Amino acid sequence: MNKPVCLVIGAGAGIGGHVARRFAREGYHACLVRRSDQAGLDQRVAEIEAEGGSASGYLLNAVEEGSIEQLVTHIEAQVGPIAVAVFNLGAQIGDRGLASTTLKQFEMGWRLATLGLFRLAQVLFPHMEQRGQGVLLVTSATAAMRGNAGQHAHAAAMGGRRMLCQSLNAQFAGKGIHVAHIVIDGAVDAPDTLGKMLGPERFQALRQQKGLDHDGLLLPAEVAQTYFHVAHQHRSAWTFELDLRAHSDLAWWNQSSSAALK
């Protein structure tokens, strides 16, 4: 294949899916990866193809030993060189306080968000280093910079990953690999993200009751614009870290959300 590859690990209907689509529109072959939901995955690929783009979908349990490693090796060998990788796996396991967070949940958050990124870098960076270029974009959250009450698994996984991004950047920037840590500071307007938190019905009800539309949520198609920009910055002016947030804080949402903790 002549197209450069954009690999998106964690490509659902939110940020990941929109980023894949954005890159596909610009001539990348998008490799979309998610844990389950073959139908949803096919739909994402079909949407891209309907726009004239090129994409392929992969179901993958990213915490499984060797899974990310095999996928990257396969894509590099069979599909094409991965120019851009987007790591979009979260660790928001809906934790609610210390007593209710199990060791398994705490470990799973780390396996997904932190170890997963380390494993991706280990298998991908030698390829990129050999080519003297490559991009790794990591979707992060406010929890990477501020641990909130009750969100122990999320905070620990995100905080560890942020420092990992820094140490990767410190080792590999000079070798042409651009690592960017993108802090999503707010709720994304995506069915599955919100569904995990409040349930879609409750969220819709809240939105209607407050008389707001989408304003105050991060729109994933707009988020994807900045992912694309950062991936194409000239190497004389790279961004390592930036935040993305809605102009309006959606304060009522944040309050509802944290109120649920008490």
Q: Which of residues 27-46 bind a copy of itself (CB under 8 A)?
A: none
First to last CA, the chain: 54
- Say how many residues touch a copy of itself, by CB under 8 A: 75
Of residues 36 and 148, the one with the C-beta less far from a copy of itself:
148
Q: Contact at 8 Å (CB) between 101 and 153?
A: yes
**Selected range binding a copy of itself among 48-56, 80-88, 196-204, 232-240, rule: CB under 8 A:** 232-240
Is 76 one of the binding residues for a copy of itself (CB under 8 A)?
no
**Selected range binding a copy of itself among 19-27, 43-51, 78-86, 241-249, rule: CB under 8 A:** 241-249
* Nearest-approach distance from CB 201 to a copy of itself, in angstroms: 23
Cβ within 8 Å of residue 261, ≥6 positions away? 96, 97, 149, 150
For a copy of itself, the binding residues in 149-178 under the rule CB under 8 A are 149-152, 155-174, 176, 178
Instruction: Report d(CA 249, CA 202) in Å as an integer.
Output: 19
Question: How many other C-beta atoms are found inside a 10 Å radius of the C-beta of residue 85?
Answer: 27
SS3 216: coil
**Selected range binding a copy of itself among 51-59, 77-85, 138-146, 193-201, rule: CB under 8 A:** 138-146
Q: Which of 46, 59, 61, 126 binds a copy of itself (CB under 8 A)?
A: 126
**Selected range binding a copy of itself among 6-14, 79-87, 147-155, 191-199, rule: CB under 8 A:** 147-155
Q: Contact at 8 Å (CB) between 176 and 126?
A: no
175-194 mask for a copy of itself (x: CB under 8 A)?
Answer: -x-x----------x-----
Is 89 one of the binding residues for a copy of itself (CB under 8 A)?
no
From residue 202, alpha-carbon distances to 54, 134, 196, 257 in Å are: 36, 41, 11, 11
Instruction: Report d(CA 56, CA 29) in Å as an integer.
Output: 8
Is 213 one of the binding residues for a copy of itself (CB under 8 A)?
no
Is 94 one of the binding residues for a copy of itself (CB under 8 A)?
no
Instruction: Report d(CA 176, CA 37) in Å as an integer.
Output: 35
243-262 mask for a copy of itself (x: CB under 8 A)?
Answer: xxxxxxx-------------
Question: How many other C-beta atoms are found inside a 10 Å radius of the C-beta of residue 161?
Answer: 26
Instruction: Report d(CA 8, CA 4) in Å as an integer.
Output: 13
